Amino acid sequence: MPNIERTGWRDQELSARHRKWGDRLYGVDVDFLMVEYYARRAVMMVDYKHHVARSSVDENTASHQALAWLADGRSIPFVICIYNLDIEEPLFEVLPVNQTAKDYFGGPHILTEENWVRCQHHLRGLAQDQELERVLESLKNEAPRKEN
């Protein structure tokens, strides 16, 4: 089972304070940056964005390019993933940011949750086996969330 957030809160006070330290101390306060890993090695970086933020997403911002530089250091894909869990079949829009992600995904596209999970297994070199099929079936059997 994945770790849950340990503190239950984010320190917005420090983020606000950091902005006061000067105009040239650039930083990115990432809301939900996930480092996907396996066997203690990163396999992909994902900046998850809720679908309501879609109109403001830009993979060419300085902050996304700084994160891409980090991913490039290990030759792993870095993507922005715009997710919508509020519909009957959850969708994940993948926007490759660095060249490794563009080579792997081929360009921006929309994946079903099943395909996104299969992609996660593939990146880790995990078998597409009965365990994966059990996980996918359990996701399909969950009651759909209602649109807010």
pLDDT, mean of residues 28-52: 92
Q: Is a pLDDT exceeding 50 seen at residue 109?
A: yes
Q: What is the pTM of this model?
A: 0.83
Question: Euclidean distance between the first and final Cα of the chain, in Å?
Answer: 28
The pLDDT, as a whole number, for residue 17 is 85
More confident residue, 23 or 42: 42
Confidence class of residue 1 from pLDDT cuts 50, 70 and 90?
very low
Cα–Cα distances in angstroms (integers) from residue 120 to residues 6, 29, 55, 94, in the given order: 24, 25, 26, 12
Q: What mean pLDDT is predicted for residues 68-90?
A: 95
CA angle 57, 43, 139 (to 5 degrees): 75
Distances (CA, A) of 104 to 55, 67, 76, 109, 119: 25, 17, 10, 12, 10
Q: What is the mean pLDDT of the chain?
A: 87
Whether pLDDT at 46 is above 60:
yes
Mean pLDDT of 34-53: 95
Higher pLDDT residue, 8 or 112? 112
Q: What's the farthest any 2 CA atoms get from each other in the chain?
A: 54
- Sketch the domain layout of the chain as residue ranges: 30-141
Gap between the Cα atoms of 35 and 98, Å rounded: 15
pLDDT in tens, 135-147: 999 888 876 665 5
